[in-house]
């Protein structure tokens, strides 16, 4: 048992280390690397460990969910769990592969999920309850050097005796000063992956363009303010359609149906990988060529539910691109209420357009331009005229709310009028 002085000294050291880390993070950027586990080169023991880590995590999660008081549960004494077998009978199993840190993380995960549902309920949302998992897909490894560690070209995971070989780890060699933090062990039903979060030094770089606006849409996936357009759609493959027809004809619970489900899952992973590859290339090109990127906070999920463009959005990569762009600190996000499509950037006239109108034409100043290119240019117009540094309207860089923007702009104009009076 620690004395008060020892606890005080420990807290002081933790505070000092935290302060040093925060200062260091100012000159760093956060980046996540994903490596594929080279499953074919693992030995039988390593394969068994990987499989059982996910199986035992599922057992533990479901067992914890069935407890009355999860908040005071002691993870250190969690050595056995009761779970269901394939015949839905209760059996007791010993936990061999999952370490104490993962158990603690599973408890924290459930507690955070319960708190999240509670907050939504207080706000008036209809919420359900946490459900038991039939499959576990992600295991959080939170302490580098204890739960996980890079050893040469291999990756050491707590619970697996020998380091395992992963593909793509050489990409870390180009960074001289890199800090490793948390990691996630992932399973998509076919392959195992490791997602590693790192902090790397910020790079000073020259860009081809100072600023670019990007309009996202249904008719055209992406339209840049310089006129560049990307229209990408990755639909369901013919193989997937055949497998889905085959699945509908098979008997539920049969082994052949289970095999077909695994093939369908593998095909979905293949389609998802294609989407990730395309989106990564587009985002990398945009970030590499432009210093400042302006986008609008489009509600893409609502587009899927409007009954007209659901399949088009489902097969597009808009969600992936938006998510990847917003993670970069050089991207400015305008609120969805900014009239980027309707307002003329020359005279300020607002023009009502329907979805079928693909050309913006101002009745006042006679400006005529492609609808999407006009919207992309208008994003730059709003940013440079009212929001950019030096304009007098101080707004947060990451997310710019329209209502707050209008109120601050009105206040600025009022002060200007009073100055002239």
pLDDT in tens, 277-296: 999 999 999 999 998 899 98
For residue 267, is it within any domain?
A: no
214 and 178 in one domain?
no
Segments in the chain below pLDDT 70:
1, 302-310, 388-421
Within a domain: 270 = no
Instruction: Tell me: do 116 and 213 sit in the same domain.
Output: no
Residue ending a domain, among 179, 201, 223, is 201
User: Domain end: 182, 201, 220, which one?
Assistant: 201
- Spatial separation of the C-alpha atoms in residues 259 and 89, rounded to whole Å: 24
Same domain? For 374 and 330 the reply is yes
Residue 181 shares a structural domain with residue 280: no
- Boundary (domain end) residue, out of 147, 179, 201: 201
Q: Is residue 261 part of a domain?
A: no
Same domain assignment for residues 95 and 223: no
Residue 267's contacts (CB-CB under 8 Å, 6 or more residues apart) are: 237, 239, 240, 243
CA gap 96, 104 in Å, rounded = 15
* Tokens found for residue 218: 């249904």
With respect to residue 138, please indicate whether it lies within any of the assigned structural domains. Answer: yes
Query: Would you state the pLDDT for residue 389?
Result: 60
Q: How far apart are the first and last CA of the chain?
A: 72
67 and 91 co-located in one domain: yes
Residues 180 and 294 occupy one common structural domain: no
User: What is residue 86's predicted lDDT score, i.e. its pLDDT?
Assistant: 74
- pLDDT value of residue 395: 42
Q: Which residues of 280-310 are buried (b: 16+ CB within 10 A; e: fewer)?
A: eebbeebbeebebbbbbbbebeebbeeeebe
Number of domains in the chain: 2
Q: Which two tokens stand for residue 13?
A: 């050291």
Q: Rg of the Cα trace of the chain?
A: 26
pLDDT at 415: 52
**What would the pLDDT profile of 306-334 be if each residue is shown by its tens digit?**
555 667 778 888 889 998 998 888 898 88
Let me know whether 117 and 228 are in one domain.
no
Whole-number Å distance between alpha carbons of 92 and 85: 10
Same domain, 130 and 224: no
Rounded CA separation 25/202 (Å): 10
pTM summary value: 0.75
**What range does the domain containing 414 cover?**
209-234+276-420
Residues 188 and 214 in one domain: no
Asked if 315 and 359 count as a contact pair (C-beta separation under 8 A), the reply is: no
**Same-domain check for residues 213 and 196:** no
* Residue 379 half-sphere exposure toward CB, CA atoms < 13 A: 30
Instruction: State residue 334's pLDDT score.
Output: 86
Same domain, 69 and 100: yes
pLDDT score, position 416: 40
The pLDDT, as a whole number, for residue 405 is 61
């Amino acid at each position: 048992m620690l004395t008060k002085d020892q606890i005080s000294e420990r807290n002081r050291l933790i505070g000092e280390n935290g302060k040093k880390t925060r200062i260091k993070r100012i000159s760093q950027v956060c980046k996540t690397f994903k490596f594929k586990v080279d499953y074919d080169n693992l030995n039988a023991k390593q394969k068994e460990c990987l499989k059982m880590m996910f199986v035992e995590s599922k057992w533990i999660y479901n067992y914890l969910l069935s407890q009355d008081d999860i908040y005071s549960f002691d993870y250190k004494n969690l050595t056995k769990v009761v779970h269901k077998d394939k015949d839905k009978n209760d059996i007791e199993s010993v936990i061999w592969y999952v370490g104490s840190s993962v158990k603690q993380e599973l408890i924290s995960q459930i507690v955070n999920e319960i708190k999240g549902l509670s907050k939504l309920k207080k706000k008036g949302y209809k919420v359900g309850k946490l459900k038991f998992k039939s499959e576990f897909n992600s295991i959080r490894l939170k302490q580098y050097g204890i739960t996980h560690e890079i050893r040469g070209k291999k990756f050491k995971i707590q619970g697996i005796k020998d380091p395992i070989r992963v593909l793509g780890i050489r990409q870390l060699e180009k960074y001289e000063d890199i800090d490793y933090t948390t990691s996630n062990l992932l399973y998509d039903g076919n392959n195992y992956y490791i997602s590693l979060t790192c902090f790397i030094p910020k790079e000073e770089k020259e860009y081809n363009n100072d600023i670019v606006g990007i309009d996202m849409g249904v008719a055209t996936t992406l339209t840049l303010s310089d006129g560049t357009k990307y229209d990408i759609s990755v639909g369901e493959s013919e193989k997937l359609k055949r497998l889905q027809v085959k699945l509908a004809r098979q008997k539920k619970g049969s082994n052949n149906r289970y095999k077909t489900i695994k093939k369908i899952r593998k095909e979905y992973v293949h389609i998802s990988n294609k989407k990730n590859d395309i989106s990564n290339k587009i985002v990398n090109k945009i970030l590499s060529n432009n210093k400042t990127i302006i986008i609008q906070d489009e509600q893409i999920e609502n587009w899927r539910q409007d009954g007209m463009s659901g399949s088009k959005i489902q097969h597009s990569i808009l969600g992936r691109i938006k998510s990847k762009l917003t993670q970069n600190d050089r991207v400015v996000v305008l609120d969805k209420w900014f009239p980027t499509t309707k307002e003329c950037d020359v005279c300020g006239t607002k023009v009502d357009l329907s979805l079928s109108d693909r050309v913006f034409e101002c009745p006042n100043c006679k400006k005529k331009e492609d609808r999407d290119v006009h919207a992309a240019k208008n994003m730059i117009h709003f940013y440079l005229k009212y929001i950019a540094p030096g304009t007098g309207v101080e707004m947060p860089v990451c997310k710019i709310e329209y209502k707050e923007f209008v109120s601050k702009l009105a206040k600025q104009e009022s002060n200007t009028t009073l100055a002239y009076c």
